[in-house]
Every structure is written in structure tokens, then in C-alpha cells.
Structure 1
């Protein structure tokens, strides 16, 4: 795609899941094909093609109460620095505006410098952490199967809006688990390269840490988790247990929040889903 050529933005369909996966894999992200199918079947995904090859994407995933998530902003290496990502985000914002949606996203530090001038306001911060295997084989708290309804109710309080459709889709996948223990709940699912834990919801940090510890000792890794930075006791506990911080994310919002969260989660479903 030559720099002087116009950028032709198209709306993608479910048949583009594999092509989207190629882009996110190139970027080293953890999404699998099932994740792409969520965006393509439940959201709006805009893309740019070059000679038939998908070279860029951005997704708008509507939730309830007039909220939506922007994510999967990807441009292949040889098509960058041409303003494509900005135009794709603008397409998502235009689609959200037509539907009266407040949009959210979780940005890398570099992305935050781009989204700020577009009108996005910072809210909370996240830290992505990775664990290959637990440090020791000490005994852990027992795990119980958790209820999807209970998880969705607690997630709604933490987010300020309902995401039961998304959580139900996650829970129905092979190898997904909803687990609970001592007033804490979490969803565990497969990613492309690592198992992902989140959201993690609990009354206290020690409950959340105990549940995460029991999860990672119940099966093999590697593991990823996206912890809320303001939950400092939880974050410090993860690092002490051997988790390594890989990168920060800044949560940002375009428009007014419909409702304030009743209680922050300890970890989120992922920067692509919120």
C-alpha cells in the first residue's frame, strides 16, 4: 500500500477471524481465534486490506447500558506510520456516536499519547503480569466450581454495567473454568500462548491472592493476569509470588460513565475486553 493511496476502510465478517489472528500473533498478543470470533460476531470490526491481505484492524464491542470497548487496534509492520490506526479508531468512534455509546479502551503508554488528543480521559491503570510456573509446591486452598450468574453479578458491580453475554461465551469454551474460594471468584480461559486469569473479584486482597495461587497450582502454565494497579496489596503479592510485570495499560474513557463501579476488581478480563 503506497503512502499516497487512500485508506479504504471496510467492515469485516466472521470469515476474517483467521486473518485477524495473523495480525495479533504478529504483534505477540495472546488472543486466539475464539476471541476474534467474539469481536466479529458480537461487535463491529473495521479493517484495511492491501491487495486482498488484511493489514489493519480496530474493533468496537458493545456492552450494556450504552457502553462499548475499543480494541484490537493492529497494523502490520510494513503498513505503519501512515495514519491507518487513527482512521480505524475514528471509524469506531463514529460508529459508537451513531449508537449513543460511551467508549472505553485499555491503552499502552504509546497508545495513550495518541488517544488523549482524541478526547479519551484516563481512568484506572493496569499491570500485565506473567508467570511460568509457581515457585514452590506448597499446599493451597481448595477450589470450588463457581456460578456464572454469581460471577456476572459481581463483574457488573465492578464494571458499572453488565457483561454477562461475554462471560457466558468465555465460560462455554473448552478448558474454561469459573472457580471460587473464600469470597473470591475468577474466570480462567485459554489464550493463544498462555492461560489467562480474569476477571478476579473478591472482598479482600488476601482472598484474591489465595484464589490465584490455587489456580496456578491446579494446572500447568504459563499464565497471564491483568491486575488493577490501585489494588497495590494484590499486585505486590503477585510479584512476591514470582509473577513478572510485563507492561502497563492505561484505561481511558470517551464520554461520560453511566455508573460508577461499586468495587474495583483485582484483575480484569483483559485489555481487549475490559
Structure 2
């Protein structure tokens, strides 16, 4: 079925967070109900229903500086290969066009093959890594840092402001912002693993030291989405027991916007940038 022949596209509300979580859980993604509420509250989430059942979604999350992130492109197994993902991404792009927004997304290799022909341009690459902990903390937690410090570093790296997103992360139970020797990172809960990121540092050695301190103070599995070109950092993680799970390709649709002044070592996640 072509995208133009698809079923009605609807805008979802905050009451659809659980239905969205069902889709991302089916796909074995790490999002929580609170993650879905960020998209539903701060952005726009398009969906397709089959009767009362939500079967497909795509989200557009606006940031400052005419930037927006497309993510949560999900289709339940029984409704794949019907053009629903393209239909919903088109809805995101049309909304972005009307509002003068440049769109970004972090695609899997299969997704990149779809988004390229739509006009998305590849930028940087990411690598998701996982660390399985023993269940016992073996070291003290790093020093606590402020949301303002993280927000300032994030804006310098991204080139645009994400105060609403970082505030939502920081206010959650279990979240912490930590820092040491010029490095700063956010650690938050996920559905199946805790997530480290964004993470900023002056060099790879200090970034690795902060990740090691975080890992030693945690008891469960951890995920981190690293910038692939930070090769010394990536190699240090794999040497210390982290395993690469999958790559992501960051892509842009629309004109380039203000560039960041530094490259992060890890991002907030492929769904958030």
C-alpha cells in the first residue's frame, strides 16, 4: 500500500503514553512511559490506529534554533510493510516544513536506507554500547553536578537549547547529573537498562574515567550512545568490557543550522539526539 493510500493519521495525546510504550517494548527499545510523555507533552506524535489499537507512531520533538528531532518511528509487527512508517514520517516532515524546522534523526542501518531517498543527509555516526554489571556497586558515586552546568555544556555542543528535555530527565526519580575533572554526564532510568548521556568532556581519558566511576557505582545494566568519531573513547569502552550493540547514522533534512562548539562523547539517545 502506498503512503498516500494509507489510513487516517491522528495526533496522539498524553493519554496515549501507555499505548506508545507497548509499541516500543515490542521493538525491545529502552524507552519508559516518562520518555513517551516527553514526546507527547513537548512535541507532536502522529499515529495510526486499527480500531482502538495503536499500530504505528512517529514523533517530532522541536528544539530551539529551528531544529526538531524525528523519532519513535514504530510499526507493530502485524502492520509492517504497508507504508505506515513513511506515511507518519511524511506527516512529521510536513509539520516541520510549515514551521520552518530542520529535522534530524538517528537511524539504524536499515532506516538510513529508507531516509536517504527521502532527502535526509548523513552527518555523524553513533555506536550504542552495553555493560552488564555484577549486581553490586564497587565504588562511590561521582560528585553531583547542577542542571545549569549540564544545560550550558549541552547547548555549547548541540548549538541549540534543550532545557525542557534535560529538565524532564533530571527531575525523574533515579536520575543524577555527575561531574569530575571537567566532565559532566546525566544518568537516568530506562525500561531495561540505565542510560548514560549526554556526556561531555575535554578529552577521552577523562570521559573514560567518569564512565568508569559511574559504572562502579551502579548495580544493573548500562547503555551509552557514543559518537563514533571519538575513537579513543570508543576503544577504551570496549577494552573495559562494554560491547557494541548497534550503529546509528545521524541524518539531517533541511538546511544546516548553527553548529556546536564541541563534539559530545555520548548523546542523550537516538530518540532525543
- Report the alpha carbon displacement of residue 5 of structure 1 after superposing the two structures with TM: 7.3
Cα deviation for residue 6 of structure 1 reads: 3.8
Matched, 1:267 2:266: yes
Q: Indicate the residue corresponding to 1:133 in structure 2.
A: 133
Provide the C-alpha distance between the structure 2 equivalents of 1:136 and 1:207, rounded to a whole number of angstroms: 24
CA contact (8 A) 1:123 1:252 kept: yes
**Structure 2 match to 1:206:** 205
CA contact (8 A) 2:136 2:218 kept: no
d(CA) in 2 for partners of 1:54 and 1:82? Answer: 15
Q: 1:256 to 1:6 in 2, by over 3 A?
A: closer
Per-residue displacement from partner, 1:153-206 (whole Å, max 9, x unpaired)? 111111111111100110000000000001100000000000000001000001
Displacement, 1:272? 0.2
Question: Are the equivalent residues in 1 in contact too, given 2:17–2:33 (CA < 8 A)?
Answer: yes
> Is the counterpart of residue 80 in structure 1 residue 80 in structure 2?
yes
SS of corresponding position for 1:124: strand
Alignment RMSD, CA only?
1.9
1:196 to 2:195 alignment:
yes
Q: Is 1:135–1:241's contact at 8 Å kept on the other side of the alignment?
A: no
Q: Cα distance 1:237–1:173, how it changes in 2: closer, same or farther (>3 A)?
A: same
Alpha-carbon distance in structure 1 between the residues aligned to 2:245 and 2:8: 35
How many angstroms does 1:255 deviate by?
A: 1.0
Q: How far apart, CA to CA, are the structure 2 residues paired with 1:230 and 1:159?
A: 16
Aligned pairs (5 A) from 1:57-206: 57-133=57-133, 143-206=142-205
Q: Which runs of 4+ in 1 moved over 4 A?
A: 134-140
* Cα deviations by residue, 1:56-98 (Å, 9 ceiling, x for unpaired): 0000000001000000000000000011100100000000001
The answer (yes or no) to whether the contact 2:157–2:264 under 8 Å persists in 1 is yes
Aligned equivalents of 1:146, 1:160: Cα separation in 2 = 21
- Alignment of 1:24 onto 2:27: no
The 3-state SS of whatever aligns with 2:19 is: helix
Tell me by how many angstroms 1:106 deviates: 0.1
TM-score with structure 2 setting the length: 0.96
Q: Which runs of 5+ in 2 are unaligned?
A: none
Aligned residue number for residue 216 of structure 2: 217
Q: 1:218 to 1:12 in 2, by over 3 A?
A: same
